[in-house]
């Protein structure tokens, strides 16, 4: 059975590039363009992993993560950002874990 990934990225070039790479690796990938779409799509289907851009229109990746955690779902979530000043990445490890992340990168 393929791992099912929901990938949320507002940058069209990045989204298309990463979807192709993930599919080449054998993953089953659904994609959306903003945080609200990510939350809506997540509620419709069952996913093994959420890949969320931290800085998206309509709803940030961190907000999507909070909603998933409030729903009681224990799914792996990766939040990333190309922005050097993305707020979640600048918080301490304890604060990020309190918000629902499973781990925190040391550097991005």
Class in CATH terms, 4-99: alpha beta
Are the beta carbons of 52 and 26 closer than 8 angstroms?
Answer: no
Instruction: Provide the pLDDT for residue 31.
Output: 94
Query: Would you list the domain boundaries of the chain?
Result: 4-99
Given this model, what pLDDT does residue 42 score? 94
State the Cα–Cα distance between residues 26 and 83, nearest whole angstrom: 28
Reported pTM: 0.77
Instruction: Give per-residue pLDDT as tens, 57-97.
Output: 898 888 898 899 888 888 888 887 765 554 555 554 455 55
Q: Which helix (H) or strand (E) holds 4?
A: strand 4-8
Q: How many residues in total does the chain contain? A: 108
Check residue 105 and give its pLDDT: 47
């Amino acid at each position: 059975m393929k791992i099912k990934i929901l990938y949320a990225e507002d940058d069209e070039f990045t989204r298309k590039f990463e979807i192709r790479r993930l599919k080449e690796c054998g993953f089953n990938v659904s994609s959306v363009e903003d945080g609200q779409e990510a939350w809506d799509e997540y509620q419709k289907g069952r996913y093994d992993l959420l890949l969320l851009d931290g800085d998206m229109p309509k709803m940030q990746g961190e907000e999507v993560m909070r909603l998933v955690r409030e729903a009681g779902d224990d799914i792996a979530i990766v939040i990333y950002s190309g922005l050097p000043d993305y707020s979640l990445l600048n918080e301490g490890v304890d604060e990020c874990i309190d918000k629902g992340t499973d781990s925190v990168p040391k550097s991005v």
